Amino acid sequence: MPQYQTWEEFSRAAEKLYLADPMKARVVLKYRHSDGSLCIKVTDDLVCLVYRTDQAQDVKKIEKFHSQLMRLMVAKESRSVAMETD
């Protein structure tokens, strides 16, 4: 399970993993209050990408990335539903 040290590497790899097979990709966010760390994990059961941080500025980056993934998920879903109804 590769744990990335830089946000840029992680976000590129995670987006690539999601776009390869959107139906299998999962995203997990985990916050540990005891040590103030936030962990984001993206997996498709074959590859698991992890990024951990305790920096406040990284939280905004993670939030933005997570919302981008959610928009991609909604856009693909709405297109497939539109195709089925035609």
From edge to edge, which strands make up the β-sheet containing 3-4?
A: 3-4, 48-53, 37-43, 26-32
* 42 found inside a domain: yes
Alpha-carbon torsion (81, 82, 83, 86), positive or negative: positive
From CA 13, how far away is CA 81, in angstroms rounded?
28
Answer yes or no: is pLDDT of 14 > 80.
Answer: yes
pLDDT in tens, 18-33: 989 888 999 999 999 9
- What residues are paired with 35 via a beta bridge? none
Q: Give the residue-averaged pLDDT of 54-65.
A: 89
Distance of CA 15 to the CA centre of its chain: 7
Q: What is the pLDDT of residue 79?
A: 47
Between residues 81 and 11, which one has the greater pLDDT?
11
Residues 14 and 65 sit within 8 Å (Cβ to Cβ): yes
The CATH number of the domain where 62 resides is what? 3.30.720.10
**Domain total of the chain:** 1
Domain presence at residue 84: no
Looking at every residue in the chain, the average pLDDT score rounds to 84
Q: Is residue 17 domain-resident? A: yes
Query: What is the pTM for the complete model shown?
Result: 0.77
